[in-house]
Chains A and B, each alone.
Chain A
Amino acid sequence: MLWTAILLSSLTFVLGQTEEFQEKLSIKSLRDGRVASSFSFSILLRDASPRDPRFLAFDDDDSHHYTLFPLTLGQILRQYAVTELHLTLNAGKWNYDAWGYPDESGVGVGAELRAWMAEGGPSSIDDRWRGLRNALAGLFCASLGSLDEQRTTSPALSFPPDGYLPDWGLPHELRHASYASEHVCTENLTPFLKLLPCKSLSGLATLLNPHRLFDADWHGIGLHVLWHPEGVEVRLNVQLVSDPIRISSSRKQDWSFKTLFDRKVQKPCPVAKSSLVVVNLPSSGIYRVDPEPSFIKDGKAYYDLTNSPGSWNIKTVWPGDFEYPFSDSTPLVPFSVRRKLLSSAQDTGKLSIVVTNNQEEQLDLLYLETMPWIIQFYLHTARVYSDENLISNISYTLPVPHARPGTFESVLTLPGRSTLTFAMDVQKAFLRYTEHPPDAQRGWDLPPAVFTPLAHNGSTKQMRQFYTPSLLVDLATPDFSMPYNVIMFTCSVVAFIFGSVFNVLTRKFVIVRLEANGQK
Chain B
Amino acid sequence: MPPVASRFRDPSTIFFQNDSVRRCIIASYWIIIVLAIPLWWKTTSIERLGLPTSQVYAEAEKKLRIPLSICLDEIFIDEVAKVMTGFQDTAEYLDVKVTAGWECNQSNSSSDYTVAWEDKLEIQDRTLYHPLSGSLTNTLKSLLAPQIDPRAAQYAPRYRLSFTLLNEDGSAGQVVNGWDIQEAIQRHVSPITSALSMLHNFTIESQVQFHAPLAFEPQSLSEGAYGLTPEDLTVFVNSAEWTLSSSSSNDPVLHFVLFVPSAERRPLRILNEDGTPSTSSAFLIPQWGGIVILNLPSPSSSQDESPSPSERVRLTADDLRQSFGAFSRQMTTLLGVPKLPPAISVSSSSPSSSSSFSTPFTHWQIDTLLRLRTHENIRRSQDTLRSTVKVVDEIEGMPVGEEVQNQVRGSLGALKHVLEILSDDGNTQLTATPNTPTSQYLSSLLAYSARALTLSSKAFFNPGMLAMLYFPAEHKYAVYTPLFASAMIPLVVAAMREVKAWMKERKEKRAALGGGGGEVRDGPPEQRED
Contacts and interface: CB of A to CB of B under 8 A. Distances in A.
Interface in A478-502: 487-488, 490-492, 494-496, 498-499, 502
Nearest to B495: A506
B210 A270 contact: yes
A487 B479 contact: yes
B285 interface: no
Contact of B17 (A17, A194, A496, A508): A508
Given A202-B170, A310-B307, A495-B487, A71 B211 contact: no
A201 B4 contact: no
A296 B416 CA distance: 79
A307 B479 CA distance: 71
A64 B206 contact: yes
* B interface bracket (residues with beta carbon within 8 Å of A): 35 or more
B15 to A, nearest CB: 12
Contact of A270 (B4, B310, B483, B486): B310
Interface in B229-256: 241, 243, 246-249
Contact of A268 (B206, B243, B309, B525): B309
B175 interface: yes
A271 B246 contact: no
A198 B12 CA distance: 99
A308 B182 CA distance: 32
A511 interface: yes
B171 A510 contact: no
Nearest to A191: B243
Nearest to B211: A201
A502 B177 contact: no
A331 to B, nearest CB: 43
Among A66, A76, A201, A270, max chain B CB count under 10 A is at: A270
Among B248, B312, B528, max chain A CB count under 10 A is at: B248
B11 interface: yes
Contacts of B25: 505-506
Chain B, interface SS category? mixed
Contacts of A66: 206-208
B181 A60 contact: no
Given A63-B204, A513-B4, A271 B177 contact: yes
Nearest to A71: B207
Interface string A47-86: 0000000000001110111111011100110010000000
A310 B10 CA distance: 114
A503 B230 CA distance: 85
Contact of A509 (B11, B211, B482): B11
A214 to B, nearest CB: 20
Contacts of B489: 499
B17 A513 contact: no
A506 to B, nearest CB: 5
A498 B487 contact: yes
B29 interface: yes
A267 B167 CA distance: 15
A271 B243 contact: no
Contacts of A197: 209-210
Contacts of A270: 170-171, 175, 177, 210, 309-310, 312
Contacts of B482: 487-488, 491-492, 495
B469 interface: no
Nearest to A199: B211
A60 B159 CA distance: 12
B490 interface: yes
A520 interface: no
A72 B248 CA distance: 8
B210 A198 contact: yes
A309 B306 CA distance: 9
B14 A509 contact: yes
B175 A65 contact: no
B248 A76 contact: yes
Contacts of B321: none
14 contacts: A65-B182, A79-B249, A198-B171, A199-B211, A202-B211, A267-B171, A271-B210, A487-B482, A490-B483, A492-B486, A506-B22, A508-B527, A510-B12, A513-B1
Interface of B: 1, 4, 8, 10-12, 14, 16-17, 22, 25-26, 29, 169-171, 175, 177-178, 181-182, 185, 201, 203-211, 213, 241, 243, 246-249, 307-310, 312, 479, 482-483, 486-487, 489-491, 494, 498, 525, 527-529
Interface of A: 17, 59-61, 63-68, 70-72, 75-76, 79, 135, 138-139, 194, 197-199, 201-202, 267-271, 307-310, 487-488, 490-492, 494-496, 498-499, 502-503, 505-511, 513
